[in-house]
Amino acid sequence: IFNVLNGIKALGNKGAKEELNATVSKFSVLLRSILNNSRKQEITLAEELNTIENYIELEQSMSSKQFDYKIELDIYQLESNEIQVPSMLLQPFIENSIQHGFVIGKKGVISINITIENKFLIYTIIDNGIGIYNSQQKKSTTDNNISIALSVTKERIQYLSGSNSLKIDEIKEGLKTTGTKVYFKIPLKTDY
């Protein structure tokens, strides 16, 4: 919300009225979705992905960093509206990719893959950014928002899965960092 409001403010300062109106409309849909979902213990995977896509598209329209995204599901014969998940587990990792992993001048890519394995829902988020360790070194010593968001999300995942299944690794080609990979799993829950 903080990042989006700053972007809206910047659009207003530029006098970009049409873009400002479109952004405010997208933001209101996203905010309504987040508020509705926050009242529920679980939502469908379809609802979660819709909210995430709204969020990513809003970031795409406002960010000075260019990036694409793709979402791939390998959930066997299940439909995404049959799977129950807690809301906003993906968002902190996606936000970190956009805000801290991607750089101006290099097109970023976020790949979100959700699969089912041994009665668990497996989430994998891969970006082609500068890597988590490089981004942590670049961040200000007074800015601890990343640490807090990751800590809270890690606690949520640990509570849901009963173990610490969250793994965050840098992707390397030789000595060069080519991105970050986030992996976690939660028990598979369906509405039947």
HEC-encoded secondary structure of the chain:
CHHHHHHHHHHHHHCCHHHHHHHHHHHHHHHHHHHHHHCCCCEEHHHHHHHHHHHHHHHHHHCCCCEEEEEEEECCCCCCCCEEECCCCCHHHHHHHHHHHCCCCCCEEEEEEEEEECCEEEEEEEECCCCHHHHHHHCCCCCCHHHHHHHHHHHHHHHHHCCCCCEEEEEEECCEEEEEEEEEEEECEECC
For residue 54 the two structure tokens come to: 């709204």
pLDDT (tens, 9 = 90+) of the chain, 192 residues, equals 777 788 788 878 888 788 888 888 888 988 898 888 888 889 999 999 999 999 999 999 888 899 999 999 999 889 999 999 999 899 999 999 998 899 999 999 999 999 999 999 999 999 999 998 888 777 654 455 556 778 888 899 998 888 888 999 999 999 999 999 999 999 999 987
**Chain segment 2-12, per-residue pLDDT in tens:** 777 887 888 78
For residue 109 the two structure tokens come to: 């890519």
**Chain segment 14-41, per-residue pLDDT in tens:** 887 888 888 888 889 888 988 888 888 8
**CA-CA distance, 165 to 159, in Å (whole number)?**
10
Confidence at residue 141, expressed as pLDDT on a 0 to 100 scale: 44
pTM for this entry: 0.87
Confidence at residue 149, expressed as pLDDT on a 0 to 100 scale: 77
